[in-house]
Amino acid sequence: MKHYYYLFTCLLSLHISFSYAQHPLRNPAEDRWYKKAIIYSLEVHTFKDSDGDGKGDFQGLTQQLDYLKGLGIDAIWLAPFHPSPRKDDGYDVADYYGIDSSCGTKGDFTEFMYQAKLRGIRVMMDMVLNHTSDQHPWFQQARKNTNSAYYKWYAWSKERPSNYNKGMAFPGVQKEVWTYDSLAHAWYFHRFYKFQPDLNFTNPHVRAESERIISYWLQQGIAGFRLDAVPFMLEVATPGQDEPPQQYEIIPDMQRFAQWRNGEAIMLGEANVPPKDNKKYYGENGEGLQMMFNFYVNQYLFYAFATGKLSPFVKALEDTRAKPASFQWAYFLRNHDEIDLGRLSKEQRNEVYKAFGPDTSMQLYDRGIRRRLAPMLGNNQRRLKMAYSMLFALPGTPVMRYGDEIGMGDNLQLNERLAVRTPMQWSAAPQAGFTTAAKAFRPVIDSGEYGYKHLNVAAQQQSRESMLHFMKDMISLRRACPEIALGEWQTDILNGSVLRLHYQYKGKSLTILHNFADKPQQVQLSGAQGQEILQELSGSRRSISPGKGGYTVSLEGYGYAWFRHSDAPGK
């Protein structure tokens, strides 16, 4: 009888899952909130301090929600705020269910979530399930007692694996991926730093616990998760095997679980994989991740910024075009890590290094650049604005990094990726208005052209020509153009240096141009004379009618223009 009951429940579950996915009234792909969202990435500790201890906290973040609402963003993505030794800036989690005391109390978090909801802002959070801190009680119990159930929550080897120093996430900084533990008398596996042992997802108890963690935060009102290091989470750590098998079934299982608990919850994956592997992550029919960061396009975009060569960038866009209807790419310029250039050829990577990170102190892990966008582009306002126009014009969801809306700089004196994680610059007050403490937990940028005394939110709010006002206008423009998030797109290269993106959606059309050269360009666009005009949505708000050869559009060096196709007067 038990067998029949089990079969019945399985069939019922499959039927309900299929019905949920196929029901005509259930959230069609174009109505899913993440498709048209603007996501803003921040760290609680570096955003705003409310109590004068030198560290940002949830009360301080709550105080700045009106600023974020005014900026026009739809969702906040929070970096880890769990209890942690913070050897890796919070990505070494010691308690998945808690809140680090330096960020505030559970009450502070609840109030923040309430106030964000009042303003129509969704909240996403980092979910670091690939590894824990070595101070996590699970690992401490595992290393002290090999008979403990928690021992099998991690990957161990009684002998030192032959590949102990291969596959490191942080080459040049990290020495090994298998480290000996003196209490367990065995080597444990860690793709990242040695104080971050990897969880063993071949263990069903680990998978069940990950679901409990996801469920807990969904109950707190979280709208989605940025899954950290997804490819590493899926791999089966195997001593002596450089390319271990992957457990791809984890992704749809996790997505299905989250959707059952909250039908609008999303999984945004950090998966820097080649295009041929994308389907393994988002699934044949969208049963996997709903969003992934498009690292592949990002690398070729920076190659285009550095060299003006557009063909590899266009090819990268085409290589990642195919996707399920429910899936959306997340595009970005800068994030909390280095710019990863590992998919470029050595020659291409060196060209980007030469343009944006010529000093070895600017480079990291033999593959990337640890700088903010403004310093990389020489604080050239035309290039910066063109770059952000390009981000908002890409066929996906834009993800912004805190501080980039005012053109913040970096601090290369800080270790590794901390260079781009300096406190937010709110005003010319001491410590950039970030804290009333005599000293912030991490140095604010206080000198040079990126120093807080002249580069801050308060100053830019007063200037209509500022980067901040430009970003507000650009976000507003993007929100007025659903064609980008939902429509069909085409792209081509004009005059060798101008990228054209053309979008169509429900009878509406957009043409967006970006000049990657520092010299002015005049381009010709095909069009039917007298049938329609191009109405510029950005810049001069000009209208262009077609001539015998189509439309003629002039762009300044590093210029851009967004046009909507409109019927000609009298048509």
| Residue in the structure block whose two tokens are 């900084």 | 173
Catalytic residue of the set 270, 340, 351, 532: 270
Catalytic residue of the set 89, 228, 338, 532: 228
Burial (0-12, 13-18, 19+ Cβ within 10 Å), 570: exposed
Element (H, E) at 140: helix 137-144
Q: Per the structure block, which two tokens stand in for 71? A: 């900026």
Question: What single string gives the DSSP state of each residue in 201-270?
Answer: TTSHHHHHHHHHHHHHHHHTT--EEEETTHHHHHB---TT-SS--B-TTHHHHHHHHHHHH-TT-EEEE-
Beta-bridge partner residues of 553: 523
Please indicate whether residue 228 is annotated as part of the active site: yes
Cα gap 456→322, rounded to integer Å: 41
Contacts 24+ apart (CB under 8 A), 496-503: 496/310, 497/308, 497/310, 497/521, 498/523, 498/555, 499/304, 499/310, 499/313, 499/314, 499/390, 500/525, 501/393, 501/394, 501/395, 503/395
Torsion of CA 22, 23, 28, 33, to 10 degrees: -100
Report the alpha-carbon angle 405-408-410, nearest 5.
Answer: 145
Please indicate whether residue 111 is annotated as part of the active site: no
**β pairing state of 178-181 and 186-189:** antiparallel
Q: Per the structure block, which two tokens stand in for 528? A: 């039917």
Cα gap 343→222, rounded to integer Å: 33
Residue positions annotated with a catalytic role: 228, 270
